[in-house]
Structure 1
Amino acid sequence: MKRLPFWPTLLVLVAVAVMVGLGIWQLHRADWKDGLLARYAAAEKLPPTAFPAVPVPDEALVFRRATGHCLEVVKWDARAGRNRQGEQGWRHIASCRTGGGEGPGMAVDYGWSRSSDAPKAANLAGAVDGVIDFDRDRVFILVADKAAPGLEASEKPSPANIPNNHRGYAVQWFLFAAVALVIYVIALRTRKAA
């Protein structure tokens, strides 16, 4: 019986151990994500709150109904998004002044359109009711219930739109580990037969 080649065997076993470890890590991430999504779903049922006047790290506000006050739209930003019918287009995010110059202000998603051009909305000053969401930079945005004139309502934020793919990733890592072992065993048998 031939001995197993030390270095190739060690390399394969280390690679398999890393892949199995990554699979286990993804299973832990899946459990964490389940808890996060449950907290988000619970936030949808909480009573409305005031939109935070200062940035807060508390993601418990995400998907909660809120009211904010926009004194004046300072600038517009268009970001890819969907309307309530699921059509692709542009979300129109307004940076609002909320007070006498202090504080970060407030971002409001005033609606959706097919065009990225800034809306020609009249005065939007006043109270805004909606649902708190966050953007790609984890900055809170209030998605308005009622679209500004000339816009359609943007897709309502929901935890149902956040996937939990971690179990699938775990299966992939475990399969990669199994395939690596099978390929190595085939390589050893081919070597032995030669």
Structure 2
Amino acid sequence: MSGWRRPSWWSVLLTLAAALLFTRLGLWQLDRAAQKEQLLRRYAAAQTAPPEDFAAAVRRGDAFAHVRVRGRFLADRLYLLDNPHHDRRGGVEAYVPLTLPGDQRLLLVDLGFLPREGPDRTPQPLPLPEGEVALVGVYLPPPGVGIEMGGDALARQRRWPKTTVYLDLAEVARDLGRPLYPQVLALDADPASVYVREHAYDFSAMPPARHRAYAFQWFTFAVAVVVILVVVHRPRRSVERIDR
């Protein structure tokens, strides 16, 4: 049996570079998981906290705040986010802008989820009150945009409510012709409402558990490249040739 074969310098360098890269990617995924778990804890705390004045929460700049606010719905300007992740049947999440007294900016309100009534039938939101309303909910970041395909779909629609597969507040603001607050108001649950208000801020597309799974995958790759280098340069059994 021959001894270990000495690897070339470039193979060692490539192996170390790949292992370091994969390790760094794994640590980055673990960091992302920790960040999202912290956001989930803040969201859970906001849901149970006493509601505070909306203006005070905005001035404080908190990403998650349980607030109360008064205003009037722009009831004829609804937006339907198609097929949110938290319902297997499919459906839409309904959003409507709210005008605040003496404020040029609009607050986009998440009314809740409406299940799809049929395979090809989009749920129709019910009429909203025309007078001033008092709302209570969690002021939080909008759902992630993800990969936008096909440009601004809102500008091409001429009838309301408008349907979109992602919620981009900048596009909504351009569509309305007025500035928006940078976050949305997810209303508290109401047993009397037709909307399902389970605003699960759970990062459905990329929850913390998936980040940890990706981290394990990257760490596995780091180990694999080192193992490959060792296997390729392991001692090989010599074969003795016997002449008869």
Q: TM-score, normalised by structure 2?
A: 0.61
Identity rate, percent: 30
User: Using the alignment, how far apart are the partners of 1:112 and 1:30 within structure 2?
Assistant: 27
2:47 pairs with 1:44: yes
State the one-letter code of the partner of 2:208. N
- 1:155-170 → structure 2 map (5 Å cutoff): 155-159=197-201, 161-162=202-203, 163-165=207-209, 166-170=211-215
Deviation string 1:91-125 (CA, Å, 9 cap, x unpaired) is 1100122224x332211122333254663515343
User: Using the alignment, how far apart are the partners of 2:96 and 2:223 within structure 1?
Assistant: 51
Unaligned runs of 5+ in 2: 145-167, 170-181, 239-244
In structure 1, the residue matched to 2:111 is 110
Q: Which structure carries more relative contact order (alpha carbon 8 Å, separation 6+)?
A: 2
Deviation of 1:71 after TM superposition, in Å, equals 1.6
3-state SS, counterpart of residue 59 of structure 1: coil
User: Using the alignment, how far apart are the partners of 2:86 and 2:10 within structure 1?
Assistant: 58
In structure 2, the residue matched to 1:92 is 94
3-state SS, counterpart of residue 156 of structure 1: coil
Number of aligned residue pairs: 186
Query: Which of the pair is proportionally richer in helix?
Result: 1
1:12 alignment partner, one of 11, 15, 39: 15
**RMSD over aligned Cα, in angstroms?**
3.6
User: Using the alignment, how far apart are the partners of 1:158 and 1:89 within structure 2?
Assistant: 15
1:58 alignment partner, one of 42, 62, 70: 62
Q: Is the 8 A contact 1:40 1:60 kept in 2?
A: yes
User: Using the alignment, how far apart are the partners of 1:90 and 1:109 within structure 2?
Assistant: 11
Q: TM-score, normalised by structure 1?
A: 0.73
Deviation of 1:175 after TM superposition, in Å, equals 0.6
2:127 pairs with 1:121: yes
Query: Which of the pair is proportionally richer in strand?
Result: 1
In structure 2, relative to structure 1, the CA distance for the partners of 1:50 and 1:28 (3 Å cut) is: same
User: Using the alignment, how far apart are the partners of 1:110 and 1:169 within structure 2?
Assistant: 34
Q: Is the 8 A contact 1:75 1:96 kept in 2?
A: no
In structure 2, the residue matched to 1:140 is 183
3-state SS, counterpart of residue 121 of structure 1: coil
User: Using the alignment, how far apart are the partners of 2:86 and 2:226 within structure 1?
Assistant: 48
2:196 alignment partner, one of 148, 154, 168: 154
Q: Is the 8 A contact 1:83 1:154 kept in 2?
A: no
